[in-house]
Amino acid sequence: MNSLLKSKVIAILDRKGQSVNTRLQEVCEMLKAEIPHYDWVGFYFRNGEKEELKLGPYAGAPTDHTIIPFGKGICGQVAVSNANFVVPDVSAQDNYIACSITVKAEIVVPLFVNGKNIGQIDIDSNTPDPFTAADERFLEFVNLEVSKIL
């Protein structure tokens, strides 16, 4: 991913006059608009002390899955594995929560604050097998920058 996108992320997150939620929302919208294979972009965060994720800011079609128990779906698995999960073909996954029939692939990257997995960024793509190591490194960068304002 190019450095222009990275500087756009940094610029949005640096808008200290805006709430964290507004800045995260704008990051989601910018990534969705700028990256052709990003069709839904959102953040999930641990819901307090509960063993579940709660949907935060996102860009794309509304989803029914605003609460996801730990272990369920791609997102719930990343909440317990602490590892990136790249899914080239969602139809090949047993433990998957479908949000839209148009989605072909998904990537979820955990977000750490002080070494603790507190949430994740989740991207859905309508393109089959679109994600590479470059997406993983870029989304790790996004989450690292986000962790600095949480």
The answer to whether residue 74 forms part of the interface with ligand SME (CB under 6 A) is yes
Query: Could you tell me how far CA 148 lies from the centroid of its own chain?
Result: 16
Residue 93: CB minimum distance to ligand SME, A: 7
The residues in 101-140 that bind ligand SME, with binding defined as CB under 6 A, are 106, 122, 124
Residue 15: CB minimum distance to ligand SME, A: 25
Work out which of 23, 31, 59, 73 binds ligand SME, going by CB under 6 A.
Answer: 73
Contact region for ligand SME (CB under 6 A) — 3-11, 18-26, 61-69, 139-147? 61-69
The answer to whether residue 75 forms part of the interface with ligand SME (CB under 6 A) is yes
Work out which of 6, 8, 54, 65 binds ligand SME, going by CB under 6 A.
Answer: 65
The answer to whether 61 and 55 are in contact (CB under 8 A) is no
**Strand ranges in 1-148 using DSSP code E only, listed in sequence order:** 40-46, 52-59, 67-69, 85-87, 105-113, 116-125
The token duo for 31 is: 């990534």
Work out which of 70, 97, 140, 145 binds ligand SME, going by CB under 6 A.
Answer: 97
The answer to whether 123 and 41 are in contact (CB under 8 A) is yes
| DSSP run (H or E) holding 76 | helix 73-81
Distance CA 72, CA 60 (A): 21
Using CB under 6 A, list all residues that contact ligand SME: 40, 42, 63, 65, 68, 73-76, 96-97, 99, 106, 122, 124
